Chains A and B, each alone.
Chain A
Amino acid sequence: MRRPDARAGLVLPAALFMGLLYLLPVLSLLWGSVQTDAGLSLAGYRQFLGEDYAWTLLARTVLLSLAAVLASLALAFPVALYLRRLSVRWRTVLAVLLLSPLLTSVVVRTLAWVILLGQQGVVNAGLQALGLPALALIYNDAGVVIGLVHVYFGYMLLCLLTSVLKVDPAQWLAAANLGAGPWRRWWSVILPQCWPGVAAGAALVFAQCASAYVTPVLLGGTRTKVLATEVYDLAMTYLDWHGAAVAAVVLFGATWLFVSLMSLPARRRARQPA
């Protein structure tokens, strides 16, 4: 006999931990965003979203995150397809190497990019040595995307690799035997089966990028503001806790919306008649 109530006890420590240290703060954040001197009110949202600046920040946050999602998808898919064909041993070695940015401190990593991408950095020195014009790779959106992709590429790769490895290798051969070229095999046979991985990777990368703070600050400079940096400024510089709570909830909502969109295909697939 299985006693579900006894098993439920197993999740109790984690539930307490998450409840006290995650759920409560989120609820208090939501509460703080609607609580004003005149009682409960959405005035904070009206005020925040009434400004073009907020929409600029929101748009930039979403676009930078989307760019990072697409770039990491474009980079990680070929790598996942390559790793698929390796022995388990080599696959593990390479995957760990590719995930190593995740193991490095965000500050160290980001400062390394400053050295590489700066006006006098390694990349531009190389370009100039080749007689090519220097590129503005830092203190702008490009710098932020490069920095974000560098780290969160790993999440995308892990998600894609899991999906790609689930596809039966015979499917590639079957598709080839039926006349599908390499691109067609990928597009018609492999990609549709990897949707869960693509969606999970996109959701993870988007959530991480949308809430990234250090990377936009160090690589984006003062011009590239995003919602996360705005939350920090409101709370720490202007001591406007109410405004910070509102901005944080907007950021939270945008992220939640994207993650929900990404889980749609998976749900539709699950509902398919068996």
Chain B
Amino acid sequence: MMDPAFLRFAGVRHGYGARHVLEEVDLAVAQGEFVALLGPSGCGKTTLLNLTAGFLAPSAGDILLDGASVRDVPSHLRGIAMVFQNYALFPHMRVADNVGFGLRMQRVPGAERRRRVHEALALVQLPDAADKYPDALSGGQRQRVALARALVLRPRVLLLDEPLSNLDPALRANLRAELLRLHRLTGMTTVMVTHDVQEAFSVADRVAVMMHGRVQQYDAPARVYRRPANTRVADYFGLGNRLGGVMRACAGGHVLDSGGLSLPLPPDARPGMTVAVPAHALRLAAAGAPQGSLPARLTALTYLGDSVEFDVEVAGQTLRGVQPAGAWAEPLRPGDAVQAGWDVADLVVFPAEAPDATA
């Protein structure tokens, strides 16, 4: 039985006087779910994590774990373990003592403690690191030790604060896979804070997009990306290619009259909504090629090795696109007449204004 509201935030606010870091957060995390709190710095996501861990107290509202309020429960009795952004390993203790610290605080006897530390290190695939000091480990290894130190306590919820941000890109993919593997293995309810859209989308079952102290949208990654709740969320996902024009009803849906063209729209487009072309959905071909659907003019082209970034003027506006680099891009020069196009299904539509827009 999965509890759909295993961890629940009910009207959680945090802040002093008129300035609130968190305005009013309502969220429910299901048992075993991996949820990402995604947003720019200052959006309140880390505050929400610190409230959950018990490092801060909400100024209003409540946090419930398995139906019981943890408002007045000290951090270590909540069964909520935190992995810090910089890992916060104790530099004067060996890895085994770091991982065993929580068990020692719980007065778990020596033999069992050693066994569980060993298990935890095996779980994060660092069985031989027990006698090393954190200084002697790489960033990725430290991250694994930090995970082991949290998991060894068998918490009910695991909190991850920007777990991949201190790692170089190659390691990041590695540890992302590791986080997923651990999550599948342990089934641990996990809440991760991140500012990285890809990181959130790649690991989380659901993403809570936070801005200005509020949850703007809470849904599965694909749904959040394909149907952003508002302009702010769309902007954060880099959906900046807006199609201007007038939306008009026609047989079977709506079209957008833009720059003298009638552009078909996805079936869920409604008048007043904003339409964006994701950069990767914008395709380009030399003029006359059959694939292109709209006449366009190339205004900029940047070769990035495995991909090409380009600006085109189409239907009276400039759109930016990214495509895998191929032979097709070779002969093109800024100023060339080209054909631009996209699949209607790839268009993203969303309400123009954030519902809670504050001046």
Contact = CB atoms under 8 A, between A and B. Distances in A.
Interface of A: 168, 170-171, 173-180, 184, 188-189, 192-193, 272-274
Interface string B180-191: 000000000000
Contact of B105 (A173, A179, A193): A179
Interface in B75-89: 75-76, 80-82, 84-86, 88
Contacts of A189: 90
Given A170-B86, A193-B91, A274-B135, A177 B101 contact: no
A272 B135 CA distance: 10
B122 interface: no
A177 B92 contact: no
Interface in B87-120: 88, 90-92, 101-102, 105-106
Given A177-B53, A273-B136, A274-B135, A170 B84 contact: yes
Contacts of B90: 171, 174-175, 189, 193
Contact of A272 (B84, B86, B133): B133
Contacts of B133: 272-274
Given A168-B88, A173-B84, A177-B75, 18 more contacts: A170-B85, A174-B84, A175-B90, A176-B76, A177-B53, A178-B102, A179-B102, A179-B105, A180-B101, A180-B105, A184-B105, A188-B101, A189-B90, A192-B92, A193-B92, A272-B133, A273-B136, A274-B135
19 contacts: A168-B86, A170-B84, A173-B55, A173-B75, A174-B90, A176-B74, A177-B54, A177-B75, A177-B76, A177-B82, A178-B105, A179-B102, A179-B105, A179-B106, A180-B76, A180-B101, A188-B101, A192-B92, A193-B91
Interface size class of B (residues with CB under 8 A): 20 to 34
Interface of A is mostly: helix
A173 B53 contact: yes
Contacts of B153: 178
Nearest to A191: B92
Nearest to A272: B133
Interface in B210-236: none
B106 A173 contact: no
